[in-house]
Amino acid sequence: DGGITQSPKYLFRKEGQNVTLSCEQNLNHDAMYWYRQDPGQGLRLIYYSQIVNDFQKGDIAEGYSVSREKKESFPLTVTSAQKNPTAFYLCASSIATRQGAFGYTFGSGTRLTVV
Amino acid sequence: GQQVMQIPQYQHVQEGEDFTTYCNSSTTLSNIQWYKQRPGGHPVFLIQLVKSGEVKKQKRLTFQFGEAKKNSSLHITATQTTDVGTYFCAGTGNQFYFGTGTSLTVIP
């Protein structure tokens, strides 16, 4: 079955530590996205990539980094510069490279907690 | 910047009652999408509307795009406990934004 796989499901990070969240898709989608969701809030865009080896900052990119070396993979690194990283992180993909042109398929998410 | 606002933020209904959530934008949208996120889950794409005044139905769910393409609504008829979750709209204006969501609780 085609879909998006995010791992791990739960992640605990110590203060000052970098962590990387994995996102893999086998939908052959060109565009991939990372969103952050805080309790009771909507989705805020961190980074997006429309093509391999290219990515763009979203609304809240500070303290995060990404790479897109393969079409299938779009890992997100939460760096120690991110002051409030505790949140639910969602990876998504879309067949269209223009944002919002078609529906997004989301992964099951990673819950990151700073301890 | 352009934002997509959604109301209400929370809604509690008795099972069998109807439910409506509204999505509003300050700018004209080229399209509107709706997603459902079950508690503890991830958003799942429901539908996309692109035409002014468009109405689409999925069983008990009715989706509408306003004539001015600045607002949209999702109406659920005779809610069931399986309808529980947060419903998000998302629209494309200058950029693509998700609304803040409406959390629906259905009381059996």
**Residue B86 DSSP code:** E
pLDDT at B2 (0 to 100): 52
pLDDT at A96 (0 to 100): 85
Chain A positions touching chain B (beta carbons under 8 Å): 35, 40-44, 90, 99-109
DSSP A84-113: ---EEEEEEEESSSSTTSS--EE---EEEE
Q: Residues B70, B27: contact at Cβ < 8 Å? A: yes
Indicate the pLDDT class of residue A16, thresholds 50, 70 and 90. Answer: confident
CA torsion angle for A99, B42, A84, B101 (degrees, to 10)?
70
Mean pLDDT taken over chain A: 94
Indicate the pLDDT class of residue A89, thresholds 50, 70 and 90. Answer: very high
Measure the CA–CA gap between B1 and A27, rounded to whole angstroms: 32
pLDDT in tens, A44-88: 999 999 999 999 999 999 999 999 999 999 999 999 988 899 999
pLDDT at B18 (0 to 100): 98
DSSP A21-79: EEEEE-S--SEEEEEEE-TT--EEEEEEEEETTEEEE-TT-TTEEE--SBTTB--EEE-
**Residue B83 DSSP code:** G
pLDDT at A100 (0 to 100): 86
**Residue B89 DSSP code:** E
In 3D, which of A41, A64, A3 has the Cα closest to residue B37? A41
Residue A99 has pLDDT above 90, yes or no: no
pLDDT in tens, B44-82: 999 999 999 999 999 999 999 999 999 999 999 999 999
**Residue B68 DSSP code:** T
Indicate the pLDDT class of residue B107, thresholds 50, 70 and 90. Answer: very high
Chain B positions touching chain A (beta carbons under 8 Å): 6, 9, 31, 33, 35, 41-45, 48, 88, 90-92, 95-96, 98-101, 103
- H-helix or E-strand spanning residue A37: strand A31-37
Nearest to A100 among B88, B92, B101 (CB): B92
Question: What residue in A sits closest to B48 (Cα-Cα)?
Answer: A103
Shortest Cα distance, chain B CAs vs residue A106, angstroms = 6
